[in-house]
Structure 1
Amino acid sequence: MNLRQWSRDLAMGVRFAFAGGREGWIRATLTAVGVGLGVALLLLTTAIPNALAQRHDRGDARTDITYQETPIPKAADTLLVGSAGTTFRDMDIRGRLLEPEGPRAPLPPGLDEFPAVGEMVVSPALRKVLESADGKLLRERLPDRITGTVSQDGLVDPSELTFFRGGADLAARGIDGGTIARIDRFGDPQPSTERTDPVLLLLILVVFVVLLMPVAVFIAAAVRFGGERRDRRLAALRLVGSDSRSTRRIAAGEALAGAVLGLLLGAGFFLAGRQLAGSIVVWRVSVFPSDLNPSPALVLLVGLAVPAASVLVTLFALRRVVIEPLGVVRTAKPARRRLWWRLLLPLAGLAMLYPMVGQGRDGGDFNQYLVVGGVIMLLVGVTTLLPWIVEAVVGRLGGGGVAWQLAVRRLQLSSGMAARMVNGIAVAVAGAIALQMLFAGVESDYTKDTGYDVTRAQMQVTIREEVPLGQASEKFRQTEGVREVYAYSEGYVGERRKDAQLTSQVTVGDCASLREVAHLPSCRDGDVFTVRGADYDTDTAKIAKTGRTLYFDTSFTNGPKGAEIPWVLPSELKRAQARTDPTGWKRGGLLLTPKAVPAAAAPALDGQLYLGLDETVPDVADRVRNTAAAMDSLSEPMVWHSAEQTDRFTAIRTGLFVGAACVLALIGASLLVSQLEQLRERKKLLSSLVAFGTRRRTLSLSVLWQTAIPIALGLLLASVVGLTLGAVLLRMTDTTVRVDWPSVLSMTGFGAAVVLVVTLLSLPPLLRLMRPDGLRTE
């Protein structure tokens, strides 16, 4: 068969798609909408790498506070930057204090000029929060006059909360490279070259495959919309002399027309969604529309792959359909589907993944081609096994009510169509179950116990030396929602003025506070205690001798170098037994009450407050932050958590949630289009049943059963495949296989919920179709 004949037949199919009257246009539109939704998500996916790169580049370009081996001297082109970030409720806010030291000081990306003292430049999202009624507490913390808005160059995404305030006398606070730094340019001078964890790379690969597979399945299903009406037209073509091969190519041409129209609609959906991207926040992630620029090569791949797939899928679907001049032999009992070749795909997938079992993170990176191929084969196996399972099960279903019998008979006649509707859901659920198992299995590797005793304290505040610790403690005690304040001044002493070989920690606090870190025999102001049984303390017993001179070391704080303060131990040293303090460890060293501390030692001590909160008080954490900010604009109180996750693991999980939300939206929209298409094809049948007296309630229930039976089978198969894939992935990461049943049930429930919502949305059109006037024909 030459190329010319192929082109002529495909072109004829394209003409039939658009010249078939109202029915042809409806069919082409439904196909195009289904394909377009999938194409839009594919284009979005191809744009994600560029969006992530743009976010990363903007984040690197504004890097300011970094460790530098050689301090930068003050000059006409230097800038002092102070870290003034904070948190409002559960939203992190990036903040900086800026103090230019010369006329050529570098301007941060996103700013047109430096804010003066008492002025502030904020991001659009932060301005919205500050101006809202809910932002009253935050406005108390950031009272400066807003004089400008941070532009896109200074933000990683539209929803980022960030501000720049004018600073003064930052150098007097001490340039430490952690809280206050002097820079002569923005940007990371030492970009990270850290190698990504192989397990995290595996997670990223599997996330992309799992999110894209349902899209491909839905596109393949969409090009087969209107199958029954199309087959009747093909029979008419055979009647006028077309041979069977030409007829199939003409059918492929019709699908090609819908796919090309779907490409155009998909591009339109993508452009519309791209414009909305800046105002949509999913799991606290958003993107600038200008960042969503797909790679031209990937766009070309999508533009070629979708039409080609539509032709191949149509030819594959018609391989067993006998199209004769007087009808299509589809209503007769089809040949039973064979199982053996359907099992080859998942087995091949397992074979591709098996060589990496037990590799773990110590065996280097996983082979990305085997990972992608193996996961795809397993998930495609769902689409090949499901039609066989649906056919085998519905063929054995029998008696019941009228609605049940109508549904079962319909499924027995068109089990393939029912399976196609469910394929996308089944693939999505199978992939989601596997991913949740993998995430749950490796989560402990990226989650560490902080050790904090959150039953005794929930927040920690560092107090700089300029603020008297007692005064700060009193202000926090007066803060609404604070029930306990444990105040400590912490530092170190050594046995020598310089280059001490033996050191001991010093903790200063009142008797009530000291009893939180040690068991005291008795206590009054002026006492000094030596602690026994502490963690990591071997020097205290050697240097804690009565009458001995020790030296407070200011090098452990921001105090001046070489200004060690001598202190003579008193004649009476009491002994105390260490106990686990609120931070989770047994501190040792020397415990001092306030009167035992020489006044000159103040620069060598850091103030720390541990706060117990009444968490029933609304916004209690923000009230604490406001109190801290009133005393020190650079103060950033820390909220304690019993455990914390690494940033990269959290980012990948967030990406999964964002992608899953998009895929679920596609699943719901595509299912609704598919359901409406099937109802449209059954319009005359439904009208006939109503005309003969069938109750509408019965027909509605039959439609519900027609959806529920394949969905139940699909979710059951998805659970089996998902559990299998999840177990294999866990063995690949050398992790103990453990089934996360709550995740399995939740993923299955999400899939069922989507189908339920789609079914409910399709009921109004169904009721309109169930009218006797649907029997009219032209």
Structure 2
Amino acid sequence: MLRDLGLGIRFAVSGGREGWTRTLLTAVGVGLGVALLLVAASAPHLLDERSARDQARAETKISESPDVTAKKSDTSVLRISAETEYRGRSIGGFLMRADGAHPVVPPGVAGFPAADEMVVSPALKELLGSSEGSLLKERLPYRITDTIADAGLVSPGELLFYVGSDTLTPANGGHRIAGYGNPGPAEEMPPILIVLIIMICVVLLVPVAIFIATAVRFGGDRRMATAGAIDPSTLPHAQTKAQIRVDESVKDVAEYVRNTAARLDPGMRVVTLKSVARDRQYASVQTGLQVGATATLLLIAAAMLVSQLEQLRERKRLLSVLVAFGTRRSTLGWSVLWQTAVPVVIGLVVAVAGGLGLGAAMIWMVAKKVTDWWLFLPMTGAGAALILLVTLVSLPSLWRLMRPDGLRTE
């Protein structure tokens, strides 16, 4: 075995520049494949940890009945959800009032916020401090006294806040809790989501295999000789519905409505009629899919580039002969473009048709409606950009190989 390993190393390093390039590309491809498998293997654990953190900050249940509240004590807390939306992003939050001198605090919060003071997640603090969050700052005008630690967040980019209040009572919607942490069983991942993750991993692994195969082939000639309406808010004794007719042509009209509602009642929740609530697990998978798809496109571009350069090297004498017989270099340049474009265009057509069909089937399986048929357009545009990129990078090698010295015999 050691002799075979030594022989393989000798072949890898004795092939000159092409041999070293082939070995490097193969190592990169294998590394990417292993990394993808590790990410796929760790995804369930990451989702479990996310669920555990979410449960840790949920209120401790004292009864299965939602109408039963904790008894008032030195550690109990009154709170009400103040979650909101801002330009399509969900923001979690609570108004809280301590019943005694030693109130319980959520995970990741060092101290209970005083009245009109606020503890926020790092991502929300950054948003409120930027020009993009100016309208949101009007809705959350409280003084920021601290940030929520990692233990109290389910993701680094989560938008979350806790606001102290001295006016919240059970009469205006306050719900008394005794502590945090729901010891119940974790929410199981939906089977359709598991199938989706497996399909994503398989699809992302295929280009890795192609890249490795292409890398191994590199230099093969020498070896032979890849607006809005206010949502119904439950109060203890009444339920209120209100319609607000607004002009949707006004920029950020929904944010102005939410700001007005927050001034009337910080616990009032406002959502637009056309807003869609998305499951957090599916949102995480969508983000991972977008990152994986981008990485896959780059891998495909690298595989195409390696294959293109290898084909040009194999046709060195033919290219030189064509130039010697008067073939214009621009004609050969266009031929390289078409060699790159045709397989990519065919691949994009097949991918779009197959993806739409598979997506429609999965949407039908979960009894949902398609909300946007055109989400694939950015990736299609990226595929077109890859055609131009590979062609441009291939041209210097093409010009070099068309020189007269390519006609020399070895």
- TM-score where L is the length of structure 2: 0.80
1:769 — aligned with what? 400
Question: What residue identity is the alignment partner of 1:701?
Answer: W
1:162 — aligned with what? 160
Conserved 8 A contact 1:211-1:663:
yes
Report 1:523-542 matches (<5 A).
Answer: none
Asked if residue 125 in structure 1 is aligned to residue 118 in structure 2, the reply is no
Asked if residue 224 in structure 1 is aligned to residue 222 in structure 2, the reply is no
Give, in whole Å, the separation in 1 of the partners of 2:390 and 2:189: 48
Asked if residue 630 in structure 1 is aligned to residue 263 in structure 2, the reply is yes
Local SS of the residue matching 1:613 = coil
2:337 — aligned with what? 704
Give, in whole Å, the separation in 1 of the partners of 2:32 and 2:355: 29
Report 1:116-195 matches (<5 A).
Answer: 116-173=114-171, 180-191=174-185
Any unmatched runs of 5+ in structure 2? 368-372
Give, in whole Å, the separation in 1 of the partners of 2:144 and 2:21: 55
Local SS of the residue matching 2:151 = helix
Conserved 8 A contact 2:309-2:394:
no
Rate the CA distance shift 1:729–1:17 in 2: closer, same or farther, 3 A.
same
1:206 — aligned with what? 199
Conserved 8 A contact 1:37-1:666:
no
2:229 — aligned with what? 459
Question: What residue identity is the alignment partner of 2:178?
Answer: D
Shift of 1:90: 1.0
Shift of 1:114: 1.8
Give, in whole Å, the separation in 2 of the partners of 1:625 and 1:57: 31
Conserved 8 A contact 1:38-1:218:
no
1:694 — aligned with what? 327
Give, in whole Å, the separation in 1 of the partners of 2:390 and 2:349: 19
Asked if residue 81 in structure 1 is aligned to residue 79 in structure 2, the reply is yes
After superposition, give the CA deviation of every residue in 1:57-81 in whole Å (9 maximum; x if it has no partner): 2222111386843421112232223
Give, in whole Å, the separation in 2 of the partners of 1:728 and 1:747: 19
Question: What residue identity is the alignment partner of 2:255?
Answer: D
Report 1:85-104 matches (<5 A).
Answer: 85-104=83-102
Sequence identity, in percent? 44
Shift of 1:94: 0.9
Give, in whole Å, the separation in 2 of the partners of 1:8 and 1:652: 46
The partner residue of 2:14 within 11, 19, 41 is 19
Asked if residue 33 in structure 1 is aligned to residue 28 in structure 2, the reply is yes
Rate the CA distance shift 1:30–1:98 in 2: closer, same or farther, 3 A.
same
Give, in whole Å, the separation in 1 of the partners of 2:17 and 2:92: 57
Give, in whole Å, the separation in 1 of the partners of 2:17 and 2:268: 69
Question: What residue identity is the alignment partner of 1:186?
Answer: Y
Give, in whole Å, the separation in 1 of the partners of 2:280 and 2:266: 26
Shift of 1:709: 4.2
Give, in whole Å, the separation in 2 of the partners of 1:623 and 1:710: 50
Local SS of the residue matching 1:611 = coil
Give, in whole Å, the separation in 1 of the partners of 2:270 and 2:357: 43
Question: What residue identity is the alignment partner of 1:134?
Answer: E
Question: What residue identity is the alignment partner of 2:230?
Answer: Q
The partner residue of 1:58 within 37, 53, 74 is 53
Conserved 8 A contact 1:130-1:138:
yes
Give, in whole Å, the separation in 2 of the partners of 1:608 and 1:744: 34
Rate the CA distance shift 1:154–1:671 in 2: closer, same or farther, 3 A.
farther
Rate the CA distance shift 1:192–1:616 in 2: closer, same or farther, 3 A.
same
Conserved 8 A contact 1:119-1:165:
yes
Local SS of the residue matching 2:180 = coil
Q: Cα RMSD between the aligned structures?
A: 4.0
1:508 — aligned with what? none
Rate the CA distance shift 1:116–1:623 in 2: closer, same or farther, 3 A.
same
After superposition, give the CA deviation of every residue in 1:730-773 in whole Å (9 maximum; x if it has no partner): 7x9599xxxxxx67996995685265244344244335534628
- TM-score where L is the length of structure 1: 0.45
Asked if residue 672 in structure 1 is aligned to residue 305 in structure 2, the reply is yes
Give, in whole Å, the separation in 1 of the partners of 2:239 and 2:350: 61
The partner residue of 2:42 within 27, 40, 47 is 47
Local SS of the residue matching 1:143 = coil
Conserved 8 A contact 1:459-1:639:
yes
Give, in whole Å, the separation in 2 of the partners of 1:138 and 1:642: 18
Local SS of the residue matching 2:179 = coil
Local SS of the residue matching 1:159 = coil
2:243 — aligned with what? 610
2:370 — aligned with what? none
The partner residue of 1:115 within 99, 110, 113 is 113
Shift of 1:700: 1.0
Shift of 1:774: 6.5
Question: What residue identity is the alignment partner of 2:182?
Answer: D
Query: How many residues end up aligned between the 2 structures?
Result: 401
Rate the CA distance shift 1:65–1:724 in 2: closer, same or farther, 3 A.
closer
Shift of 1:696: 1.6
Shift of 1:633: 1.6
Any unmatched runs of 5+ in structure 1? 233-423, 425-456, 464-555, 560-604, 736-741
Conserved 8 A contact 1:65-1:181:
no
Report 1:339-418 matches (<5 A).
Answer: none
Conserved 8 A contact 1:690-1:770:
no
Rate the CA distance shift 1:763–1:208 in 2: closer, same or farther, 3 A.
closer
Shift of 1:50: 2.8
